[in-house]
């Protein structure tokens, strides 16, 4: 699943090619994604110039003079930037055409979304998202304050987009390992000092992944137009029943809120 670093890398990959460009037309081959694509999206976007391209959580925002296209990659979505039109394949649901490029949305599982709003500041998907994890608004004091009297496991707590935007399963697992915090501990039971450590770990790991993504940006316009997706060296995620890289004991595999979770019962207290 694309997580925040992949969305950020996608943004950095497409932004220089699309900013200031005018949409020629939108071809929609499949309207049924997580929510239906507005049937008039072609009329809404045609002849509109992309004035701003940004990210909020895992939502990409294409802002024009008349409104904003909200795009989410869902579980399996990809954006490809094509410099010459190649015939669409089965899962290529949407093409946004510009003078020199075509932005193609591919999504085999169709949990992605393309929505239109005239006021992004009041859109229901965006108004309740917590602070961006890489801003100063996301800090140990903030997280500790939000956790007061919360009984849910700390891992579910930091994966709640109302608490902080875009920390998914991989990065939550890795950050808790890095900060040496047991993922099933009730959020309200964790000290301020531990939350400061956890925030530092989340920022460090996301930055590392974004940096690594940055090294693949030059490949964004390869023949297939796909960003080089990437993975940081994972210390916990996907390593259940393997030795802990810190203490060599066997990592435990459990489920928290239906999500696979790996941790070291020795290092993470």
For residue 170, the SS3 value is helix
Q: Note whether 180 binds Zn ion by CB under 5 A.
A: no
Nearest-5° Cα angle at 89, 57 to 58: 0
- Phi, psi of 167, rounded to the nearest 5 degrees: -95, 105
- The nearest distance, CB 174 to Zn ion, in angstroms, is 14
- Catalytic: 2? yes
Q: Note whether 264 binds Zn ion by CB under 5 A.
A: yes
Of 20 and 243, nearer to Zn ion (C-beta) is: 243
Of 104 and 252, nearer to Zn ion (C-beta) is: 252
Q: Note whether 266 binds Zn ion by CB under 5 A.
A: yes
Question: In the range 210-249, which residues lie near Zn ion by CB under 5 A?
Answer: 244, 246-247
- Catalytic: 203? no
- The nearest distance, CB 159 to Zn ion, in angstroms, is 22
* Measured distance CA(79)–CA(106) in Å, rounded: 6
Residue 263 in contact with residue 249, Cβ under 8 Å?
Answer: no
- The nearest distance, CB 248 to Zn ion, in angstroms, is 7
Element (DSSP H or E) covering residue 259? strand 259-263
Q: Note whether 176 binds Zn ion by CB under 5 A.
A: no
DSSP notation for 13-57: HHHHHHTTPBEEEEEES--BSSSBPPTTHHHHHTT-B--EEEEET
Q: Note whether 181 binds Zn ion by CB under 5 A.
A: no
- Catalytic: 243? no
* Measured distance CA(98)–CA(61) in Å, rounded: 17
* Measured distance CA(127)–CA(66) in Å, rounded: 20
For Zn ion (CB under 5 A), the number of binding residues is 6
Of 110 and 182, nearer to Zn ion (C-beta) is: 182
For residue 5, the SS3 value is helix
- Catalytic: 58? yes
Of 205 and 264, nearer to Zn ion (C-beta) is: 264
Closest C-alpha to 94, from 130, 59, 45, 141: 45
Quick one: which segment of 34-42, 124-132, 233-241, 257-265 binds Zn ion (CB under 5 A)? 257-265
Catalytic site residue from 5, 55, 58, 227:
58
Q: Note whether 267 binds Zn ion by CB under 5 A.
A: yes
Of 204 and 267, nearer to Zn ion (C-beta) is: 267
Q: Which residues bind Zn ion (CB under 5 A)?
A: 244, 246-247, 264, 266-267
Residues taking part in catalysis:
2-3, 58, 259
């Amino acid at each position: 699943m694309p997580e925040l670093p992949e969305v950020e890398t996608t943004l950095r990959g497409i932004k220089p090619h699309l900013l200031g460009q005018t949409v020629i037309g939108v071809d929609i081959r499949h309207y049924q994604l997580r929510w239906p694509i507005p049937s008039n999206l072609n009329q809404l976007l045609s002849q509109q110039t992309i004035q701003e391209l940004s990210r909020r959580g895992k939502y990409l925002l294409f802002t024009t003079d008349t409104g904003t296209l909200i795009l989410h990659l869902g579980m399996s979505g990809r954006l490809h930037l094509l410099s010459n039109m190649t015939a669409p394949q089965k899962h290529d649901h949407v093409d946004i055409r510009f003078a020199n490029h075509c932005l193609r949305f591919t999504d085999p599982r169709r949990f992605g979304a393309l929505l239109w709003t005239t006021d992004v500041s009041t859109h229901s998907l965006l108004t309740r998202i917590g602070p961006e994890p890489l801003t100063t608004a996301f800090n140990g004091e903030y997280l500790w304050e939000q956790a007061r009297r919360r009984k849910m496991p700390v891992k579910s707590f930091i994966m709640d987009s109302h608490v902080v935007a875009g920390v998914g399963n991989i990065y939550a697992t890795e950050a808790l390992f890095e900060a040496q915090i047991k993922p099933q501990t009730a959020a309200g039971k964790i000290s301020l000092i531990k939350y400061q450590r956890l925030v530092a770990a989340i920022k460090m790991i996301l930055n590392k992944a974004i940096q690594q993504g940055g090294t693949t940006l030059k490949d964004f316009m390869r023949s297939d137009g796909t960003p080089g997706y990437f993975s940081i060296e994972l210390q916990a995620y996907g390593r259940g029943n393997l030795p802990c890289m810190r203490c060599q004991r066997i990592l435990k595999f459990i489920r928290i809120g239906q999500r696979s979770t790996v941790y070291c019962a020795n290092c993470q207290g």
